[in-house]
A and B are shown apart, each in its own frame.
Chain A
C-alpha cells in the first residue's frame, strides 16, 4: 500500500525551488556577485538564464511525453534521435545559407523543427511498432546517422563548423541574446503547454491502444499531435542549448518517483524539474570554473547521471 504525496504541495515547493535557482543564476557570475550597477549584469545574464530555464522545461515535458507516447520509460528525444534531427536541420540550413540565417528569427527554429519532425516520423515508421529494444535501437541508429550528417556538413563548411560543433556539445547557452531566443522560447512554452494538456490520453494509452480506444482516447490524433509537438519542443530547446540528451530521461523518472506515474502530474513536474536541472547545471558550469566554463550538457550529465542511476536501481529491483 502506498500513499501518494499531495501534488499541489510538491509542485508548489518545486516552483519555489525553481525561482530560487533563477534568482541565484541571475546573481551569480564570473565577474561579480549581484546584479551590478544599473542592473547591467542582470541584463547580461537574463537571456542565458531564460534560455536555460525554458529549454529545461521543454526537455522535461518533451521527454515525459515521448515516454508516454511510446509507452516506454527509456524513450527520450536525446536517445531516439529527435535532437540529432533538429541539429541536422540547423546544419543543413547553416551550410546552405550561412549569411542570411540570423536575420529572420524563425529560420533556425523552422529548420530545427523540420529535422526533428523528419527524424520522429522515421522513428515511428521504422521502430514505432514492436519492442522497447526495437524502438531504442532504431532511435540510436537514426541518432548516429544524424550526428554523422551534422559532422559531415560541419567539416565541409568552415564558417558553420564552430557553431555546429559547440551545438553538438550542448554549449549554445552562452551565445543567448534576447532577439535570438525569443522565438524558441515561445515555441518551447507553447508546445510544453500543449503536451501537458494530453495527460489524460497518455494515461489511457498506457493500457494499450485497443483498450485506450474503448476508454475514449482518440489514439491516432493523440499520436500525431504528440509526435508533432514533441518534435517542436525538442527542436526549440535545441535552438537554445544545442544537443542535450539527459534531461528528457532524468526529469520524468524523477517526477514519477516523487508523485507517481499519472501524466497529469508527471508532465508539469518533469517540466519544472527539467528547468531546475538545466538552469542549475548551466549556472554551476559557468561559475565553478570561470576560466574554463563547462557546457550545460556536460554539467547536466555530471550532476544528473548519479541521480538517475540511483532512481533506476531503486525502482527496478
Chain B
C-alpha cells in the first residue's frame, strides 16, 4: 500500500486579486507519477509551486504528509522535495561542474551527467550550451538532490521541453525509476508521450481541475477539444 505524500484539499489561491487555482483536489502517493496537463496559463506551474508553500492558500490547503508536525515546510523543502523549474536559469555563468558543486551529492550529479551524455562538457560554461543541454544540466542537479527518492516529492515543470528525442526518452525513464524507488512525482507537461506514461492526469483549465483520471480517459478528443479549443478529427 503506497502512502499519500501530497494532498490538495479544495486548494484555492489568489495572486494580485485574481484566482489562479480554484478548489484543486488531487493527491500524489509514493511510487506514483501524476501529470498536470492544460493549455498555457492554466495554472500548472502555480500548482507545482503551491506544493512547496510558495503560493499561499486563500482557501483549503496542500498537505505534505511527510512533514513532521509543527515544523516549517520552508525549512524542510530540501529534505522532502526536488524541484526543476520550467526555465532554469543562473545569474552567474557557472560551468556545469560548478553547477554540480551545488548538489549535496556531487557523485550522483556526475552519474546523471554521464547518463544524459553531457559528461564530456563538464568544463563548459552554462551560457555556451544549447537550451536543451542547459535544461539537462539543471535536471541533473534536481535528480542528484537525494540519494534515495523513497517518499520524496519530485516536482518537474515541463522537464522534456526543449529536449531532443533521445534525451526526452532518457528523462522519462529517469522519472519512472525514481517513482519505482518510492518517489511521488508531479509533472507538468505538454509532452503527450510523457503524459501517457503518468499513472494519473490532472487536467487544468483556467485554474480549475476539469478532469482527473487515467491518461487514456483524459486525453480524449472531446476533452482535448474542450480544453485546448482545437478540433480533432
Partner-B contacts on A (CB < 8 A): 1-4, 71-73, 200, 203-204, 206-208, 210-211, 213-220, 256, 260-262
Interface residue B13 (Cβ < 8 Å from any Cβ of A)? no
Q: Is the CB of A215 within 8 A of B145?
A: yes
Among B49, B52, B78, B88, contact of A207 (Cβ-Cβ < 8 Å): B88
Number of A-B contacts (CB under 8 A): 75
| A69 → B minimal CB distance (Å) | 10
Among B78, B91, B94, B125, contact of A215 (Cβ-Cβ < 8 Å): B78
Q: Is the CB of B95 within 8 A of A260?
A: yes
Q: Mark B73-101, 1 if CB is under 8 A from A, else 0.
A: 01101100111010011111111001001
Q: Is the CB of B102 within 8 A of A208?
A: no
Chain B residues within 8 Å of A2, by CB: 95, 123-125
Q: Is the CB of A210 within 8 A of B95?
A: no
Q: Is the CB of A72 within 8 A of B91?
A: yes
| A221 → B minimal CB distance (Å) | 10
- State the 8 A-B residue pairs at the shortest beta-carbon distance, nearest first: A261-B92, A216-B78, A71-B91, A206-B91, A213-B77, A214-B83, A1-B123, A214-B81
Query: A208 and B54 in contact (CB under 8 A), knowing A2-B95, A215-B102?
Result: no
Give the docked Cα–Cα distance between A167 and B162 (Å). 54
Chain A residue nearest in CB terms to B98: A262
Q: Is the CB of B90 within 8 A of A210?
A: no
Knowing that A206-B92, A207-B138, A262-B94 are A-B contacts, what are 19 other residue pairs whose CB atoms are under 8 Å apart, sorted by A's residue number? A1-B121, A1-B123, A1-B124, A3-B123, A71-B91, A72-B91, A203-B92, A206-B91, A207-B89, A211-B85, A211-B88, A213-B74, A214-B52, A214-B77, A214-B81, A214-B82, A215-B102, A256-B92, A261-B92
Give the docked Cα–Cα distance between A213 and B72 (Å). 12
Q: Mark B116-147, 1 if CB is under 8 A from A, else 0.
A: 00000101110000000000001001100100
Chain B residues within 8 Å of A4, by CB: 95
Chain A residues within 8 Å of B83, by CB: 210-211, 214
Q: Is the CB of A206 within 8 A of B124?
A: no
Q: Is the CB of A210 within 8 A of B54?
A: yes
Q: Is the CB of B78 within 8 A of A213?
A: yes
Partner-A contacts on B (CB < 8 A): 49, 52, 54, 74-75, 77-78, 81-83, 85, 88-95, 98, 101-104, 121, 123-125, 138, 141-142, 145
Main secondary structure of the interface of A (DSSP, over half): loop
Chain A residues within 8 Å of B54, by CB: 210
Give the docked Cα–Cα distance between A206 and B138 (Å). 13
Chain B residues within 8 Å of A204, by CB: 102
| A200 → B minimal CB distance (Å) | 8
Query: A213 and B52 in contact (CB under 8 A), knowing A2-B124, A220-B74?
Result: yes
| B71 → A minimal CB distance (Å) | 14
| B221 → A minimal CB distance (Å) | 36
Give the docked Cα–Cα distance between A206 and B95 (Å). 13
Chain B residues within 8 Å of A220, by CB: 74
Q: List 25 A-B contacts (CB under 8 A).
A: A1-B123, A71-B91, A203-B101, A206-B91, A207-B88, A207-B138, A207-B141, A210-B83, A213-B74, A213-B77, A214-B52, A215-B78, A215-B104, A215-B145, A216-B78, A216-B104, A220-B74, A256-B92, A260-B94, A260-B98, A261-B92, A261-B94, A261-B98, A262-B92, A262-B98
| A261 → B minimal CB distance (Å) | 3
| B86 → A minimal CB distance (Å) | 11
Chain A residues within 8 Å of B81, by CB: 214
Among A207, A219, A260, contact of B102 (Cβ-Cβ < 8 Å): A207
Give the docked Cα–Cα distance between A238 and B41 (Å). 48
| B164 → A minimal CB distance (Å) | 21
Give the docked Cα–Cα distance between A1 and B96 (Å). 10
Give the docked Cα–Cα distance between A211 and B92 (Å). 15
Give the docked Cα–Cα distance between A164 and B139 (Å). 53
Chain B residues within 8 Å of A217, by CB: 78
Give the docked Cα–Cα distance between A261 and B101 (Å). 13
Q: Is the CB of A261 within 8 A of B93?
A: yes
| B94 → A minimal CB distance (Å) | 6
Chain B residues within 8 Å of A213, by CB: 52, 74, 77-78
Chain A residues within 8 Å of B91, by CB: 71-73, 206
Chain A residue nearest in CB terms to B97: A4
Chain A residues within 8 Å of B102, by CB: 200, 203-204, 207, 215
